[in-house]
């Protein structure tokens, strides 16, 4: 069965170019020209992947992303002419999986689409749960709970925690985490790793005393200890 890709892009020539090239790759492609239409189609179609422009009429791309993440964990790749680090960090923090700066190579875009769809397909259906202290991380349901009570996590909080928890005891630099969890690297971007670690610590660590699970490795980065 062909995968469905939703392209939310208000520049019609670019949207049609993306549609043509992705259909040539065998994908089922649908397009939306503004943010309101894009969010509505994302909810109705439940696409396997979304290519989302940031600067859209009627509803900004970041608001569309926020709306998508309320009901879907499908990969979202941002298409943006914005070059500031703050815009990229904000998009990643809201749950984007990748971003591509305009103008971009179609070959690179198609390669990134393949990578993210392959990762989604490779997720095992085998039941997997990781326990640490009073917490349980359900990797199938993408759910963290404490003594049976669910704890709300942002998408990238979950992905960072799952990545580290599955590699118990191994230390990772901030650059490694940015590349492996966010699948991206850019100058100064490691700040977003520290922000997510801080958010996670508020949810899984005791307010007093040193962290028990998310450990800072001096001069390197972080490691997870069950």
Other beta carbons within 10 angstroms of residue 13's beta carbon come to: 8
- Per-residue pLDDT, 120: 67
- Per-residue pLDDT, 129: 83
Report the chain's mean pLDDT, rounded to a whole number.
Answer: 87
- Per-residue pLDDT, 9: 97
How would you classify residue 133: left for phi > 0, otherwise alpha for psi between -120 and 50, otherwise beta? left
Rounded to 5 degrees, φ, ψ at 104 are: -130, 165
For residues 171 and 63, give the distance between their C-alpha atoms in angstroms, rounded to a whole number: 35
- Per-residue pLDDT, 187: 47
Task: Specify the residue for token string 């949810």.
Answer: 203
Residue 186: pLDDT above 70? no
CB-neighbour burial class of residue 21 (10 A; exposed 0-12, middle 13-18, buried 19+): middle
The domain covering 4-121 belongs, at the CATH homologous superfamily level, to: Response regulator (3.40.50.2300)
129-224: what fold?
Answer: Arc Repressor Mutant, subunit A (1.10.10)
> What is the tens place of the pLDDT at every residue in 94-103?
888 888 888 8
Residue 69: pLDDT above 70? yes
Q: Are 179 and 92 in contact (CB under 8 A)?
A: no
> What is the tens place of the pLDDT at every residue in 46-55?
899 999 999 9
Q: Are 53 and 80 in contact (CB under 8 A)?
A: yes
Q: What is the rounded average pLDDT of the residues 198-217?
A: 92
- Per-residue pLDDT, 119: 73
Q: What is the DSSP letter of 47?
A: -
> What is the tens place of the pLDDT at every residue in 106-132?
999 999 999 888 876 654 444 478 889
> What is the tens place of the pLDDT at every residue in 193-204?
899 999 999 999
CB-neighbour burial class of residue 12 (10 A; exposed 0-12, middle 13-18, buried 19+): exposed
Could you check whether 4-121 and 129-224 share the same CATH topology? no
Q: What is the total residue count of the chain?
A: 226
Q: Are 107 and 129 in contact (CB under 8 A)?
A: no
Q: Are 75 and 50 in contact (CB under 8 A)?
A: yes
Give residue limits of the domains in the chain.
4-121, 129-224
Residue 185: pLDDT above 70? no
What is each CA distance from 8 to 127, 137, 142, 172, in whole angstroms? 34, 33, 26, 35
Q: Are 152 and 194 in contact (CB under 8 A)?
A: no
What is each CA distance from 129 to 23, 142, 213, in whole angstroms? 38, 10, 16
* Out of 3-12, 79-88, 189-198, 199-208, least confident range: 79-88
């Amino acid at each position: 069965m062909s995968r469905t890709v939703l392209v939310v892009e208000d520049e019609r020539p670019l949207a049609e170019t993306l549609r043509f090239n992705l259909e040539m790759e065998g994908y089922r492609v649908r397009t939306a020209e503004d943010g309101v239409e894009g969010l509505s189609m994302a909810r109705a179609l439940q696409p396997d992947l979304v290519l989302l422009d940031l600067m859209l009429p009627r509803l900004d791309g970041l608001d569309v992303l926020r709306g998508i993440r309320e009901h879907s964990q499908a990969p979202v790749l941002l298409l943006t002419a914005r070059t500031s680090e703050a815009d990229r960090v904000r998009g990643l923090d809201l749950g984007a999986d990748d971003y591509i700066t305009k103008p971009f190579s179609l070959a690179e875009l198609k390669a990134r689409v393949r990578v993210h769809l392959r990762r989604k397909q490779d997720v095992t259906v085998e039941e997997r749960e990781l326990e640490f202290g009073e917490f349980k991380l359900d990797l199938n349901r993408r759910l963290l709970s404490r003594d049976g009570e669910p704890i709300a996590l942002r998408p990238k909080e979950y992905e960072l925690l799952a990545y580290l928890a599955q590699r118990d005891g191994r230390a990772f630099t901030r650059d490694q985490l940015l590349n492996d969890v966010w699948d991206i690297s850019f100058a100064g971007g490691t700040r977003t790793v520290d922000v997510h670690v801080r958010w996670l610590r508020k949810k899984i660590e005791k307010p007093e005393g040193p962290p028990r699970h998310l450990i800072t490795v001096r001069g390197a980065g972080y490691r997870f200890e069950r």
